[in-house]
Amino acid sequence: MITAIETYLAVRRAAGFTLSNTEYLLRSFANFATDQKQTHISTTTAINWASQARSVAQRHVRYQTVCLLARYLCVEDSRHESPPTNYFGYRKARRAPHIYSRAEIEGLVLAAQKLPSFNSLLPRTYATLISLLAATGLRISEALHLLVSDITPDGLLIRKTKFQKTRLVPLHDTARTGLARYLTHRQEMRSGSDHVFVSDDGQPLVYWKVHNVFRTLLKSAGIQPSRGRWPRIHELRHTFAVRALESSPTGRQRIGQHMLALATYLGHVNINTTYWYLETTPELLRDIAVVAENFAQGGQP
């Protein structure tokens, strides 16, 4: 079974996936199956191996990993069983995101501009970073990995990110102007890094430092925890998506088209991820509820 697993991993990696955790799990499963004197995947073995995990979420991940492998192997060898999906009935519960108001975003930018700095670069870096995240909906990892060469006349070139995809993100004129102003100042500091966002010492920003600084900015801007949790920098992306949906064109068909465009823009692999943002868009949810009720009563959708 190890040979089959290595072939499976090689095929998926050729498509751009890293699969480090997947490899670890599948080798563990192969060892478990070997101990059971099995050379082919069986549903019972997959369930028993996955059940060794402590939490339902971990069992689900282990089980689904084997399910994907089984589907691949079944094509060439019918002796492998294809286990039914979602055996453990797990459903990921998403934390309700904090949707920043315009005033809160402005407060964060103003707080960033007041950060202490020995050469005035750090305040500009964080003010520009927050502004860009709010204006484009980029993932924080995508923004931190941006290179100067990724800024093109057509927008930002986002290279192989979370799902190994490359996409072009258009920039509004105001965002382009703000980014250009920051880069001009950054060049005056003679930073040797090719990264767009750098610290006072010219080194690229790293996430753990950004996380800590952002917590400071939240406090300076007067933004308080909600339900015991501090708002996150990633929720600037959620805010962008929700505002985009709220401003979508009227008409059911056009909203559907807008959703597809938004999924592409955000770099989502599955449009279901984009539809989740409807949960935090009360206006659209009410509209959907009215239409659903009308349809249930025999009206037109």
pLDDT tens, residue by residue, 143-169? 999 999 999 998 888 886 655 677 888
pLDDT at position 24 is: 93
pLDDT at position 299 is: 54
Residue with tokens 């050729």: 14
Contact 108, 218 (CB under 8 A): yes
CB atoms within 10 A of CB 242: 23
CB atoms within 10 A of CB 187: 10
Q: How far is Cα of residue 226 from the mean position of the Cα atoms in its chain?
A: 22
Q: What is the distance between the alpha carbons of residues 197 and 194, in angstroms, rounded to a whole number?
A: 9
Mean pLDDT (10-residue bins), the chain, 301 residues: 90 80 93 92 94 92 93 90 88 78 95 90 94 90 91 85 72 91 84 84 90 95 88 88 70 54 59 54 53 51 48
Nearest to 230 by CA among 114, 110, 108, 142: 108
Domain 102-232 is in which class? mainly alpha
pLDDT at position 274 is: 53
pLDDT at position 52 is: 94
Q: Residue 93: left if φ>0, alpha if ψ -120 to 50, beta else—which one?
A: beta
CB atoms within 10 A of CB 79: 10
Q: What is the distance between the alpha carbons of residues 68 and 23, in angstroms, rounded to a whole number?
A: 12
Give residue limits of the domains in the chain: 2-74, 102-232, 236-296
pLDDT at position 15 is: 74
Cα dihedral 167, 100, 98, 221, rounded to 10, equals 120
Q: What is the distance between the alpha carbons of residues 127 and 123, in angstroms, rounded to a whole number?
A: 6
Q: What is the pLDDT of residues 227-272, one digit of tens each?
A: 788 999 988 988 887 777 766 655 445 555 555 565 655 665 554 5
